[in-house]
């Protein structure tokens, strides 16, 4: 009898535990639905605000990028030593600022001096290009030539779009300079703000790890991209001058800039000079020569040298990069295409440090292996002070 009662008691406990676990699973599923809905709403809201607030946010992002580049160059100047002498930080910062001012001034002078000539000759190029394409003995071109010429290859529309993007950035130059000025005024207090936000919750060290990781990865990406893009643009300019393509300096600068746009930029930087060569020549020899020459430079530098320099540092999925490129092109146009990879690097680094968002970082990666190991993930991450700590000291003593 006692054995039978014991069995009944055990079965009853198992039943209760099973019902409790089922209830817990049900509550967990019910909790995940609002959390997922809230996350989706937050993402949609952020995208909406980015689109609506482009006039305010894009100059701020450009100012942050320029501020970061100026500080990076100043740090490089600070590492220069002549004997035992090292330049003061203020001198390095002023030298870096002067360097950027001269570069931007030279770029504006170069483009403004040739923009009118290029815009005048672009319609002639378009007419010549249309005639060359219509005479190509290809079935594919003859079947789709109307759409190919009018929609895909519209040089005046492309030139107008690029000119409008540069004009928009220049129009926001005053606002960008104000942002940069205030960033330099505030940068001395950044460490104190981080300590005030995260020291009481014990997350300061974790935050600084994320910031250092983002700074190092962005600095490496920009350094390598600047080196490879400069090499591609310079060699392309020399090649175009040798084969006597019109406005070789403009196309070399354009190739340099386009190489900062992932994947699509290098393709456009190869096809566009070839189309210009086809438009300015009577036959197809110059077109084939430019297409093969610029394409060989893009393959050697973009597909061989650049991956060797970057290695597995970023480990981003190519399809994710393309989707991210399309997203930021839709949000901020051409400037968004230049900023899409740094944004993706920052997002992947942040997501990889937290358990709930780590699966998203794995999806964004190329092979699923993240540089942040699971034992380095931040289980708890809080900022700010406790509620009690926000009370005045005398009131805390009175309540104690």
Tens digits of residue pLDDT in 112-135: 777 777 777 888 887 887 777 776
Contact by Cβ (8 Å): 294, 269: yes
Confirm if 329 and 263 have CB atoms less than 8 A apart: no
Query: What pLDDT score was predicted for residue 297?
Result: 92
Residue (of 318, 347, 320, 324) closest to 337 by Cα position = 324
| pLDDT attached to residue 395 | 43
Long-range contacts of 239-245 (CB under 8 A, 24+ apart): 239/290, 239/293, 239/294, 239/297, 240/273, 240/290, 243/277, 243/286, 243/289, 243/290, 243/293, 245/273, 245/276, 245/277, 245/280, 245/286, 245/290
Q: Nearest-CA neighbor of 75 among 57, 89, 94?
A: 89
Residue 3 has a pLDDT of 46
What tokens appear for 318 in the block? 């190519």
Residue recorded with tokens 């591609």:
232
What pairing do the DSSP bridges indicate for beta strands 85-86 and 81-82?
antiparallel
Structural tokens at position 159: 């030139």
Determine the pLDDT at residue 214. 86
Structural domain spans, the chain:
55-187, 215-310, 314-379
Task: Tell me the pLDDT tens digit for each residue of 235-253.
Answer: 999 999 999 888 888 889 9
Record the pTM.
Answer: 0.76
**324: which 2 tokens?**
């991210």
Query: What gap in Å lies between CA 237 and CA 110, rounded to an integer?
Result: 15
Residues of the chain where predicted confidence (pLDDT) is lower than 70: 1-36, 135-153, 201-202, 311-313, 371-400
d(CA 239, CA 244): 8
| Angle ∠(342,343,348) on CA atoms, nearest 5 | 100
What pLDDT was estimated at residue 96?
92
**Separation between Cα atoms, residue 120 and residue 126, nearest integer Å:** 11
């Amino acid at each position: 009898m006692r054995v039978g009662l014991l069995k009944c008691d055990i079965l009853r406990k198992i039943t209760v535990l099973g019902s409790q676990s089922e209830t817990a699973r049900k509550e967990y599923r019910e909790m995940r639905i609002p959390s997922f809905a809230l996350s989706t709403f937050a993402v949609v809201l952020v995208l909406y605000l980015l689109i609506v607030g482009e006039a305010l946010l894009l100059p701020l992002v450009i100012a942050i990028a320029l501020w970061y580049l100026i500080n990076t160059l100043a740090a490089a100047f600070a590492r220069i030593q002549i004997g035992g002498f090292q330049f003061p930080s203020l001198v390095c910062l002023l030298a870096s600022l002067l360097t950027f001012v001269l570069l931007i001034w030279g770029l504006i002078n170069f483009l403004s001096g040739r923009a009118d000539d290029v815009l005048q000759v672009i319609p002639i190029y378009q007419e010549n290009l249309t005639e060359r394409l219509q005479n190509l003995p290809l079935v594919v071109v003859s079947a789709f030539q109307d759409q190919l010429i009018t929609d895909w290859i519209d040089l005046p529309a492309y030139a107008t779009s690029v000119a409008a993007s540069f004009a928009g950035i220049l129009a926001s130059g005053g606002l960008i300079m104000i942002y940069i000025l205030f960033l330099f005024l505030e940068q001395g207090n950044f460490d104190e703000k981080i300590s005030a936000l995260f020291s009481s919750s014990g997350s300061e060290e974790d935050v600084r790890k994320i910031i250092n990781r983002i700074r190092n990865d962005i600095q490496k990406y920009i350094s390598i991209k600047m080196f490879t893009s400069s090499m591609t643009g310079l060699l392309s300019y020399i090649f175009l001058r040798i084969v006597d393509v019109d406005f070789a300096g403009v196309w070399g600068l354009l190739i340099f800039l386009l190489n900062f746009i992932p994947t699509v930029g290098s393709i456009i930087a190869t096809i566009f000079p070839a189309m210009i060569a086809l438009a300015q020549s009577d036959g197809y020899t110059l077109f084939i020569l430019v297409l093969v020459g610029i394409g060989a430079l893009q393959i050697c530098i973009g597909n061989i040298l650049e991956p060797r320099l970057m290695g597995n540092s970023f480990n981003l999925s190519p399809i994710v990069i393309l989707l991210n490129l399309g997203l930021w092109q839709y949000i901020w146009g051409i400037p968004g295409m230049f900023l899409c990879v740094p944004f993706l690097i920052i997002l992947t680094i942040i997501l990889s440090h937290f358990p709930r968002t780590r699966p998203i970082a794995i999806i964004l990666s190329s092979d699923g292996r993240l540089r942040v190991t699971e034992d380095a993930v931040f289980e708890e991450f809080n900022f700010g002070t406790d509620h009690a700590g926000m009370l005045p000291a005398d009131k805390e003593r009175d309540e104690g």
